[in-house]
Amino acid sequence: MGYRSELEARVAKRTTKAIVDYQMIEDGDRVMVGLSGGKDSWALLQILDVLRQRAPVRFSLVAVNVDSGYKEYKHDLIAKTCEARGWEYRIEHTGIGELIEDILDVDQTPCSLCARLRRGVLYRIATEIGATKIALGHHADDFIETLLLNLFFAGALKAMPAKLVSDNGVHVVIRPLVLVGEEEARAYTKESELPVIGCCCPACGDLGLQRQRIKRLLMDIEGEHPGVKQSMLKALANVAPRHLLDTRLNPPAELRRLASAAVAGSGSEARVHARPPAASGGGRRRAAAGPSGPPCVRAVIQRVSSAHITVAEAEANRDVARIGRGLLVLVGVERGDGPSDVQYIAGKVRDLRVFDDPDAGDRHVARSVADVGGAVLVVSQFTLAGDCRKGRRPSFDAAAPAQIARPLYEDVIRELKTAGLEVATGEFQAMMRVSLVNEGPVTLLIDSRKQF
């Protein structure tokens, strides 16, 4: 089944890339699409329905519209359109508009509060209907504008994630249009003959709003320098933490320790942070690259019949974790790592076929840890970032400091638990004793930059 037009093919290609790169949709997912009636949410629902019919995995869609309570809002047109297209939908009527008017002063912008209140409603409905993912229609321009809004007006260097786990760990929010531009979304909605419905908020379209001013600024810059928005989007996936001023990323005490270790390890030459010369050109090499190039989350995966962790204390060894058959996973985090690295590692651990299947013929190693009902024991292992190429003392310059490594290590654990696996863990930064029985033996090395 081919695409209806060149535009649909282009939108589908970019949406598919985002879904694959950020592992947004999995087999059996029930995806709840936040449908406001605007061009972006219609484009998202339409392209997901197109991809659903040709995807290698099975997933279902349900559109959910949160009616803020404005009298002129055409929720009936949304219902008729969904029915005509055969889309499952639900419309939730609320008093959010009236509530915002009561809370905010006349001169305050309602958009942020409205978004939070609507998000809360979506979370509640997702639980009620059993949705495993919540898809929102933010496109590439939204990511770039949010970056500049935070940079100019909030004193923060941040945008929004393509995939987000809610604070309570219950909901997963995805933004499949992250690589699709606003003009493409607008054109695709028009081509698909979907009715664009305004939210009827009095502030909607106010040209004095900060976001509208940012839109005009970007339009002017893009006109003078075509491709600048694409460059900004690329920058969001190419962060160099050591080149920023945030001491949480580069703690002075940690930098002093690393510098002292480097001096001690280089003898009389006293060369601090010695590295191979940076790659020229537009490659992906980033600051604080590890021994094999760009920073990555590394993991050693061992198939075990049992594994056991203790921590040595003054009087006796304390049991920390124990599993039977499953995987022992040592995880090492480097500087510059982020959510996409975590998702890659967690996805590999979840899906690797490393267990025997007597019914699989010649391809007897054909079952995942979930298939055999096994458990996963995850252990933080910063020494995986060690560089042994020079001298006799390993350099750990590329290893992420604890305050960066811990959240990413915990994200790996959270991703595995979200996938329904039984997960046990070691103790972060503790001196642990790891005992295991390697079954095979089977030991695999993986990293998030796919270098081995």
| Active-site annotation, residues | 381-383
Locate 204 and state its tokens.
Answer: 């909607």
DSSP-assigned letters across all residues of 354-406:
-EE-TTSTT--EEE-TTTTT-EEEEEE-GGGG-B-SSSSS-B-TTBPPHHHHH
**Helix extents (H) in 292-366:** 339-351
CA distance 424 to 322: 7
For residue 42, the surrounding DSSP H or E stretch is helix 39-52
CA distance 32 to 65: 10
Region of residue 342 (phi > 0: left; psi between -120 and 50: alpha; otherwise: beta): alpha
Instruction: Identify the bridge partners of residue 331 per DSSP, sorted by sequence position.
Output: 299, 380
User: What is the residue type of 367?
Assistant: R
For residue 51, the surrounding DSSP H or E stretch is helix 39-52
CA distance 236 to 331: 24
Q: Could you tell me which of 25, 44, 24 has the C-alpha nearest to residue 87?
A: 44
| Cα distances (Å, whole numbers) of residue 251 to 22, 49, 246 | 29, 47, 8
CA distance 375 to 373: 7
**What b/e sequence results for 261-292 when a residue is b if at least 16 CB atoms lie within 10 Å of its CB, and e otherwise?**
bbeebbeeeeeebebeeeeeeeeebbbbbbbe
Contact 215, 142 (CB under 8 A): no
Q: Could you tell me which of 165, 166, 167, 163 has the C-alpha nearest to residue 177?
A: 163
CA distance 294 to 201: 46
